[in-house]
Amino acid sequence: MPDPIISIQGLDAHYGDFQALYGVDLAVEPGQVVAVIGANGAGKTTLMRSISGLLKNKADAIRWQGRPIGALRADQIAALGIALVPEGRLLFPSLSVEENLIIGGQLGRKGPWNLARIYQLFPILQERRNVPATALSGGQQQMVAIGRALMSNPELLMMDEISLGLAPVVIKSIYEALPDIVGEGLSAIVVEQDIAKALSVSSHVVCLQEGRVSLTGGSGELSRDEISKAYFGV
Ligand SMILES: Nc1ncnc2c1ncn2[C@@H]1O[C@H](COP(=O)(O)OP(=O)(O)OP(=O)(O)O)[C@@H](O)[C@H]1O
């Protein structure tokens, strides 16, 4: 087994007095897509925030290529090559599609992703490149959010509930881009409430329930019953 690109061990997270994550373990190998599933409030977004440096962690709870990074700031995490497509997209509303994408490239990391490559991946964005980003449909906005993250040439791409509120046909077209993205050598963590979608795009799945890992295993190896028990607790 190759060394993981990122490994999380015993991660706790708090909002004030409230503990949202309890001893979470997760590892991603180079080129692997890991799905994080769980019901509303299970702690999926908190896990993404912790990895991104938006929540404070113990330094050695998160290791990047073996190095403890849990205590780094969000800008330092981004500079390492860890990019988040946040829940709700958080595009810059007054900027055009192209300007939003360019901002993603500000870190200046070298790699395969640039405007031309993003437009190849999502051709509709080239057609609409001068339109304010928030004038786009939800699915197109999600493409901008993914493109903006890719423009930083990350080694790990984290996507938080990218299908939320989108029509099934749109979700399908967005996820169809994932093999091309991972084909460039990236690893990915995909947060999904849609269990079938999560299993179909990943090789490994981690289920959270009330802040704890309730199940983990190969995406093709877990039974429906195991997953629904881990997901719903029944
Ligand atoms: N800023 C905050 N302050 C206090 N508690 C919070 C905050 N953000 C989240 N929580 C709580 O932490 C727990 C985990 O929330 P989190 O958003 O990580 O769950 P989630 O699995 O991403 O759910 P969802 O699918 O609804 O986004 C929940 O109980 C939530 O109420």
Residue with CA closest to ligand 1 atom 26: 40
Domain count, the chain: 1
Is there a domain that residue 93 lies in? yes
Any atom of ligand 1 within 6 Å of the Cβ of 20:
yes
What pLDDT is recorded for position 45? 95
What pLDDT is recorded for position 225? 87
Query: Does position 233 have pLDDT exceeding 90, yes or no?
Result: no
Ligand 1 atom nearest 193 alpha carbon = 25
Any atom of ligand 1 within 6 Å of the Cβ of 44:
yes
Is there a domain that residue 173 lies in? yes
Any atom of ligand 1 within 6 Å of the Cβ of 17:
no
More confident residue, 226 or 6: 6
Is there a domain that residue 1 lies in? no
**CATH of residue 93:** 3.40.50.300
Cα-Cα-Cα-Cα torsion 34, 75, 146, 115, nearest 10 degrees, comes to -130
Distance 46 CA to ligand 1 centre (A): 6
Q: What is the mean pLDDT of the chain?
A: 92
* β-strands 18-28, 82-85 pairing: unpaired
What pLDDT is recorded for position 70? 95
pLDDT in tens, 159-197: 999 888 888 888 888 888 888 888 878 999 999 988 888
Is there a domain that residue 104 lies in? yes
Q: Where would I find the beta strands (DSSP E) of the chain?
A: 6-15, 18-28, 33-37, 62-64, 67-68, 82-85, 156-160, 187-192, 204-209, 212-218
pLDDT band at 232, cuts 50/70/90? confident
Determine the structural domain holding residue 21 and report its residue range.
Answer: 6-232
What pLDDT is recorded for position 63? 97
In this prediction, residues 206-231 reach a mean pLDDT of 92
